[in-house]
Amino acid sequence: MERARPPKTANVIREGAALSTPGAPGPMWSAKGRIGRVRYLVRCGLAGVAYLLVVGLVGIVLGSDVDAPSIRDGAIFAALGLPVLVFVLLQSTQRARDLGWSAWTGVSVIVPCIGSLVSLVLLCAPGSPIRNENGPPPTPNGRALVITAWVLGAAWVAITIASVLES
């Protein structure tokens, strides 16, 4: 009779305790590697800000009507949003891998209703401090990264409050 093998992750965790030296963050346009919470927030937040700036500039150049956008404008804005969507999916995949989850968990951020909850968990849950099957833990966050995250968070809160007060 064949001897039962322990799960692959058990070996990785056992060996990973001694190999928990942080590695480089995952590449920006790749699903491989791991990124932490702050880097996930900054990368996705800056991608959203860049998208809004580009859409705003394109809207001005095209003379788009904010109150009644045309089908052409919608198609252009959707096409401009596709690279941002792909980028956010790649970042979510890396973040899910940092938690030791399947990459498909990161892809689930585009599912209506569930995606918001998954994004919130990806943003709040601490990653694995040891090496897992996706590599070593991400590098510690630098001061500039943390400041950018705080600025993005404060801007989001300010915009939310302003929009509530305006309506």
pLDDT confidence of residue 8: 52
Domain annotation covers residue 6: no
> pLDDT digits over 45-98, tens only?
999 999 999 999 999 998 888 788 789 989 999 999 999 999 999 999 999 999
pLDDT at 10 over 60: no
Domain annotation covers residue 90: yes
Domain annotation covers residue 5: no
pLDDT at 165 over 90: yes
Domain annotation covers residue 19: no
Domain annotation covers residue 16: no
Give SS3 for 137. Answer: coil
pLDDT confidence of residue 12: 44
At residue 25 the predicted structure's pLDDT band, cuts being 50, 70 and 90, is confident
How many structural domains is the chain composed of? Answer: 1
Average pLDDT, stretch 143-150?
Answer: 96
pLDDT confidence of residue 1: 53
> CA 95, CA 93: separation in Å to the nearest integer?
5
Domain annotation covers residue 21: no
Give first-to-last CA distance, the chain, whole Å.
71
pLDDT confidence of residue 65: 84
Q: Which two tokens stand for residue 14?
A: 């056992």
Q: Beta-strand (E) ranges in the chain?
A: none
For residue 36, the 8-state DSSP code is -
Query: 45 lies in which domain range?
Result: 27-166
pLDDT confidence of residue 4: 56
> pLDDT digits over 35-54, tens only?
999 999 999 999 999 999 99
Among 134, 101, 136, which Cα is nearest to 118's? 101
Other Cβ atoms closer than 10 A to 130? 18
> pLDDT digits over 110-145, tens only?
999 899 999 999 999 999 899 989 889 998 999 999
> CA 126, CA 141: separation in Å to the nearest integer?
13
At residue 2 the predicted structure's pLDDT band, cuts being 50, 70 and 90, is low
CA distances to 3, 21, 37, 78 from 13, rounded to whole Å, are 21, 13, 21, 42
Domain annotation covers residue 104: yes
Does the pTM surpass 0.85? The reply is no
The percent of the chain in helix, strand and coil, each rounded to the nearest 5, is 65, 0, 35
Q: Which two tokens stand for residue 133?
A: 């099957």
